[in-house]
Chain A
């Protein structure tokens, strides 16, 4: 039993890590605590429905459609909402993202109707047994793709010039513009990447479950993941996601699905008490 829960916990946790990483990218760049991250994830699932069912695109083009759609959505959100209202205090910005997620939900329900949809993408769906663990190929695929995306992002963030400028902008806005960085482009790119990561997570979740706006609740598990891991920390988001996945599976498996949220949010509160910057975050380097 235990190894079964650990397996599925790590697989789901990888998806949460991916969505949480998207959250962190957006937060680092624009200091927006994005409550719409769960709904951006849902958008990924509905992009898949549009591409695959409505447009009848082949699978590779479906993937491209989802990524491009998510990228454009992220850039549009940045230029239409975040930038014009930027520089506001944390609270109004949070309200903006809550409003955004409500609006996105309503738009999705208007277009696709409220009922859950079934979407079958040509992803591996078999099951094989390893010892006493049932390994779902979809879980494995989700985990592998999530890890590849996270790895790709980290290489981009650490090694590319655009990634460097993104880190610099996250470090200090005024210093960034005074160094000639076109901060708008960097921030728009961060929103695009954050939305794309969420969308990929959404595609996998809607394969494990039905396509529905209610997937948002799962997507919002990214929030405890980043708070536990450390808001500003890239590894923190990924490990926080894994941790939340593990806790979820163990708690629902051994106790009850109802117990899940207690075991996720009590550690979150403890973290806020003891180590508000998160397990892997760091306190700001002092000014000399």
Chain B
């Protein structure tokens, strides 16, 4: 298991504060890192600031009327604070956005083609072949319109599209939202394969804490815009605090 203070950090967020329209801080002084080859989870209830954190990292804050007031975000050696989202993707951040956001009127193959378009053609073809290998279901549906597929298949496609750009790190936002538990487990089961075959680190945002803690090495817990708990996933899972808030275990049980 990776150590929490991995010195080769792929994503580092330092002292990040964010607000929308100059109102109260939605995030204040967030510190966070993802090491090379690590799977890291961000947990938190609705309104804890998870989505805002993701938007800040992916460069979408401006589109949603938010602004970074302080702090720095780095991907590898590149300072990506306030860069445009398309530029950040080109620096190696793959995105699996909440709500999947596949291109509904394009076929499965075209969706993956768009993902691979940031790469030179030959390399793009290779990563697409690897994606089809990872999700044979996508290969079967190659010529189908993405909008006509089931939610789970669309989620696979969104993940495949992110991987097709051969990213160093992928950001997975609320993958389980609105999907049947079975297909969610199927997709999550592929995460370690993705890491070993694509060499991709992952930052996972999840409301389903159990799922995220199972697959990740480390986790951060957000509450009202601050990191209130962080550490190895196994430790976070046993912590009283997370039990109370996110795993649905009664407070008395952990006190006792």
Interface residues of A (CB under 8 A from B): 161, 164-165, 167-168, 170-172, 174-183, 284-288
Contact = CB atoms under 8 A, between A and B. Distances in A.
A238 B227 CA distance: 56
A contact patch SS: helix
Given A180-B86, A284-B104, A286-B147, 13 more contacts: A168-B110, A172-B101, A174-B97, A175-B102, A175-B103, A177-B59, A177-B85, A177-B89, A179-B161, A285-B104, A285-B105, A285-B147, A288-B154
Contacts of B113: 161, 164
Nearest to A286: B147
Nearest to A162: B117
A228 to B, nearest CB: 21
Contact of B97 (A164, A175, A181): A175
A168 B103 contact: yes
B28 interface: no
A168 B101 contact: no
6 contacts: A167-B103, A172-B101, A172-B103, A177-B86, A179-B117, A180-B165
Contacts of A172: 101, 103-104
Contacts of B139: none
A175 B90 CA distance: 14
B106 A180 contact: no
A178 B89 contact: yes
Residue of B86, B97, B110 with most chain A CB atoms under a 10 A cut-off: B86
Contact of B60 (A165, A168, A178): A178
Contacts of A179: 89, 95, 114-115, 117-118, 161, 165
Nearest to A181: B86
B84 interface: yes
A229 B117 CA distance: 31
A101 to B, nearest CB: 29
A288 B97 contact: no
Nearest to A282: B105
A183 B86 contact: yes
B101 A175 contact: yes
B106 A167 contact: yes
Contact of B114 (A168, A174, A284): A168
B147 A164 contact: no
B211 interface: no
